[in-house]
Structure 1
Amino acid sequence: MPEEPCVVGVDFGTLSGRAVVVRVRDGEELASAEHVYPHAVLDRELPDGTRLPPDWALQVPSDYIDVLRTAVPEALARASVAPEQVIGIGTDFTACTVLPVLADGTPLCELPEYTARPHAYVKLWRHHAAQGQADRINALAAETKEPWLQRYGGKISSEWEFAKALQVLEEDSEIYDHMERWVEAADWIVWRLCGTYVRNACTAGYKGQYQDGVYPSATHLGALHPDFAGFVTDKLDQPIGQLGEPAGTLTAEAAAWTGLPEGITVCVGNVDAHVTAPAAAAVEPGQMVAIMGTSTCHVMSSDQLGTVPGMCGVVDGGILPGLWGYEAGQSGVGDIFAWFVRTGFPAEYAEKAAAAGQTAHEYLTALAAGQKVGE
């Protein structure tokens, strides 16, 4: 029997990246491997010791390349799959995770003159230091009745592309001026894999206010800051790739990183939560998936367009082609549980959990199960 074709998927999460090998014939997951980011989340200081203010969350882009170098070959080895069996690679990423780069994709933090400049680094999805900029974007959009605002439940987040970019402009204009592209990490990693920069429809819509084929206007952006008027045309705009389409083919450099064959298909990038819908076979209108982790997202596709106060967004083709994709949820879930266990778990509970052979989470869950709702 000839060797069966397989594909590789790579999930770039908050603290690590994971590679999975899947058999094409039936979707069977053959093996996976994980690579923990050496720099994790930079929320207190840069690698050189430069201190960071509160609410910052940065990452080092070379950590993402290390996932390709280590997790992909390890997953292949565990699956006993030969590289030549792999016919394609697809990726997903946390979002909005965004970084300033040169025209060739080089991150500004990798330039020697900018290693001590916080705004030169990747801004992770959980970077919340642009809240002031987000508040101003929301207030202005409400005042001028921007048509896109209601598609996001009435407000955009400090985590998204425009608020974070405006923060760079207002706090380090040299970095803003020097960056030639403001790129989602979901698209940056695909760019690194295939040499082609394609903007995926999911992050463009949910994180970049791209609605009905246009971004927020230069007039709107210029009212926020005169030098921000040209942001879309100068730093952001790029051809939109639809989800599930090829972005290009694997370059020789990326083939050397991963051990995969040069020339195989590289898929358009996507967001970590949104790729879960087809994986869970929730592809019919009205089927919702809750993806629970560091954050928890609720995603659903529909053949109808509606506005829902407080939701994260509705995007044409944002989850599945031909349907309106809805996203909502809580941005801090596992994070909050981890914080509570780390800072508020009584010593008495710790002793009882250890005696019972339970983790802190298991012990607390057992206690909570004995209570009535709201008690």
Structure 2
Amino acid sequence: MTGSDNEAVAIGIDFGTLSGRVVVAAVADGRELASAEHVYRHGAIEEKLPETDVTLPRSWALQSPDDWRDVLRHAVPKALSAAGVGADQVVGIATDFTACTVLPTLADGTPLCELDEYRERPHAWPKLWKHHAAQSHADRINALAHERGEPWISRYGGKISSEWEYAKGLQLLEEDPELYGRAERWIEAADWIIWQLCGEETRNICTAGYKGIYQDGKRPDRDFLTALNPGFADFTEKLEHPLSALGDRAGGLTAEAAAWTGLNEGTTVAVGNVDAHVTAASAKAVGSGQIVAIMGTSTCHVVNGENLTEAPGMCGVVRDGIVPGLWGYEAGQSGVGDIFAWFTENGVPGEYTAEAEKRGISIHEYLTELAARQEVGQHGLVALDWHSGNRSVLVDHDLSGVILGLTLATKPEEIYRALVEATAFGTRMIVETLVSSGVPIEEFVAAGGLLKNKWLMQTYSDVLRRPITVLTSDQGPALGSAIHAAVAAGSYPDIEAAAEAMGKVERHAYEPDQARADAYDELYAVYAEIHDHFGRGGSKALYKLHRIANEASKK
């Protein structure tokens, strides 16, 4: 599909874990004229620093800033060419990012990892959202916040995550104090990429609120930070900058960025955003009570509410965090698609892979086909979806995965099914926690790469006992960013109007089957029992195993 010679378009760029994706969308109705993807050369850096022999400890995950620039250099021109539109037709450009993906820079935005003297220092590189090595630092922040009665801690369900800005910043200070001192900025990648595009340093309300402990106009005070570590007293100064509202204009493309992208200098650049939160616009779910689950390697859940309530274990509740004027709630699961990928890469016999290849289908498709033949509960298994820790509602990345009920007769497809069900149970735990805390959930909307698996989606509908509306775009975050670009350019008065015109959904694409839903209630009760046993103090076994593994890896 290509655009007409005079059709106005907006560009959305989604910076993910392994690649960046670009969508060119018609401003009038959101038609996706073209898309392009650029796979990061370095991917997720989890074993050793690029072009060095420096190995990384367990639970580390980094990225390279130049991979992000490469998306601008390669994917944007490619998408423009495929769409058949010229630079004069582009009204604006907007981006979204994983979060909290954060990096230390100089005052001019230069990443420390791009300075020759720091390239071999792990803490100089951007820490990806799934960098979980700051759990002990998050634990100390949480304990002190409760001890001092800090008012902001309840806005995050009683715990901040090891993934967030302050925990990762404290880890930087205590493990590489020289680099901490050299870092003049500690900035989310979502804001850093905007700096690269328009030459203006900005900070968006979304990442500041959900990942940077910004509530009611302020962040944790100097006394609190000093009590954590005297050297941490100035940390907030590395973050401080006037905040910008979502959908606002951050500035215009610089000459350098225009050359990268093939766009006109001065083209409107929207304020940065987070991949999950911006997807609410493409899913037409910007009203109160519409929860969006962005389902991929991990799952993020976002929902708006008219009133403030503090739900335990949520990633945060932020005023104006998704759209201006409403309270935005966020929750999430640290591992979903990653768990399925782990199993197919490590737990499937060769004959299964051979059969899938023979039939010309993926191993996921083959396992899904076999798993779908089973009745609910036939495998005798229940699993905990904590292979990457628990983001909500326990907020603890020292937890790990569990599978109960294995026998010598257990088959790979049964384990696969139990893992899929575990992620659905985890989502149900989040939804029930929100509802019981006073956040109404009137519609469940799904987005992301896992929508391609229809059996998985039906399983979620059965487990949740709810209809599921689906986003019909394959590029939900990028389309959401394009919607924000249209708003920033003045093509629409607000995000709600733009979402209604440009969003793409199929209402109630999946309906729960009553018999399966009843059967899943019984399995979910077992999930909830072991969830609380291992996650709420009934057993310290998972923590002991985590400690033993860490100590052994250091020998």
Q: SS where residue 31 of structure 1 aligns?
A: strand
Structure 1 or 2: more helix by fraction: 2
Say whether the 8 Å CA contact 2:319–2:325 is kept in structure 1: yes
Q: What displacement does 1:25 show?
A: 1.3
Mapped partners of 2:376, 2:326: distance in 1: 36
Match of 1:370 in 2: 373
- Residues 204-256 of structure 1, C-alpha deviation per residue, up to 9 Å, x if partnerless? 000011011111111111111001112112x1111101000001111001001
Aligned to 1:214: 218
| Local SS of the residue matching 1:58 | coil
Q: Does 1:148 align with 2:152?
A: yes
The answer to whether the aligner puts 1:348 opposite 2:351 as a matched pair is: yes
- Offset of 1:307 from its aligned partner? 1.2
The equivalent of 2:540 in structure 1 is none
| TM-superposed deviation, 1:2 | 5.7
Distance 1:142 1:372 in 2: 46
Q: Give me the whole-angstrom Cα distance separating, in 2, the residues matched to 1:184 and 1:78.
A: 31
Q: Does 1:31 align with 2:30?
A: no
Q: Distance in 2 between matches of 1:86 and 1:368?
A: 46
Equivalent residue runs for 1:50-61 within 5 Å: 50-61=54-65
Q: Distance in 1 between matches of 2:124 and 2:328?
A: 32
Cα distance in 2 for partners of 1:179, 1:147 equals: 28
2:284 pairs with 1:285: no
Counterpart position of 1:17: 20
Q: C-alpha separation between the residues in 2 aligned to 1:197 and 1:331?
A: 29
Report the equivalent of 2:49.
Answer: 46
Structure 2 stretches of 5 or more lacking a match?
380-555
SS at match of 2:360: coil
Q: Report the equivalent of 1:73.
A: 77
Contiguous gaps of at least 5 residues in structure 1: none
Q: TM-score, normalised by structure 1?
A: 0.98
Query: Partners in 1 of 2:360 and 2:70 — Cα distance?
Result: 35
Tell me the CA shift for residue 95 of structure 1: 0.3
1:111 aligns with 2:115: yes
Matches within 5 A, 1:227-306: 227-233=231-237, 235-306=238-309
Deviation at 1:355, TM superposition (A): 3.5
Asked whether the 8 Å contact 2:5–2:85 carries over to 1, the reply is no
Cα deviation for residue 346 of structure 1 reads 1.7
In the alignment, which residue of structure 1 is the partner of 2:91?
Answer: 87
Equivalent AA in structure 2 for residue 12 of structure 1: F
Asked if residue 193 in structure 1 is aligned to residue 197 in structure 2, the reply is yes
Task: Work out whether 1:157 is the aligned partner of 2:153.
Answer: no
Which one has a bigger Cα radius of gyration? 2
Residues 287-326 of structure 1, C-alpha deviation per residue, up to 9 Å, x if partnerless? Answer: 1111101111111111011111111111101101100001
Secondary structure in 1 matching 2:104: strand
- The corresponding residue for 1:122 is 126
CA displacement at 1:356 relative to structure 2? 3.4
1:46 aligns to what SS in structure 2? coil
| Runs of 4+ that moved beyond 6 A | none
The answer to whether structure 1 residue 307 and structure 2 residue 310 are counterparts is: yes
TM-score, scaled to structure 2: 0.66
Partner of 2:275: helix, strand, or coil?
coil
CA contact (8 A) 2:13 2:22 kept: yes
Q: In the aligned structure 1, how far is the partner of 2:120 from the partner of 2:147?
A: 38
Structure number with higher relative contact order (C-alpha < 8 Å, ≥ 6 residues apart): 2
Q: Which amino acid aligns with 1:137?
A: I
Task: Give the letter aligned to residue 23 of structure 1.
Answer: A
Amino acid paired to 1:280: A
Q: Distance in 1 between matches of 2:5 and 2:45?
A: 47
Shift of 1:357: 3.0
Identity of aligned residues (%): 66
1:9-50 Cα shifts (integer Å, max 9, x gaps): 110000000111011111111000000000111111001221
Aligned twin of 2:137: 133
Return the alpha-carbon distance in structure 2 between the equivalents of residues 36 and 272 of structure 1. Answer: 17
Q: Quick check: 1:320 aligned with 2:323?
A: yes
Q: Once superposed, what is the RMSD of the aligned Cα atoms?
A: 1.1
Number of aligned positions between the proteins: 374
The one-letter amino acid paired with 2:24 is V
Amino acid at match of 2:181: D
Change in Cα spacing, 1:24 to 1:149, as seen in structure 2 (3 Å) is same
Moved more, 290-299 or 364-373: 364-373
What secondary structure, in the 3-state scheme, does the structure 2 residue paired with 1:165 have? Answer: helix
Q: Deviations over 1:86-115 (max 9, x none)?
A: 121000000000000000000001111101
Alpha carbons 2:102, 2:188 under 8 Å: kept: yes
Rounded Cα–Cα distance in structure 1 between residues aligned with 2:353 and 2:256: 49
Name the CA distance, whole Å, in 2 between partners of 1:87 and 1:283: 23
Structure 2 counterpart of 1:225: 229
* Residue number among 153, 156, 181 corresponding to 2:185 in the alignment: 181
* Rounded Cα–Cα distance in structure 1 between residues aligned with 2:120 and 2:234: 27
Q: Does 1:358 align with 2:357?
A: no
Q: Secondary structure at the match of 2:256?
A: helix
**1:329-344 equivalence runs, <5 A:** 329-344=332-347
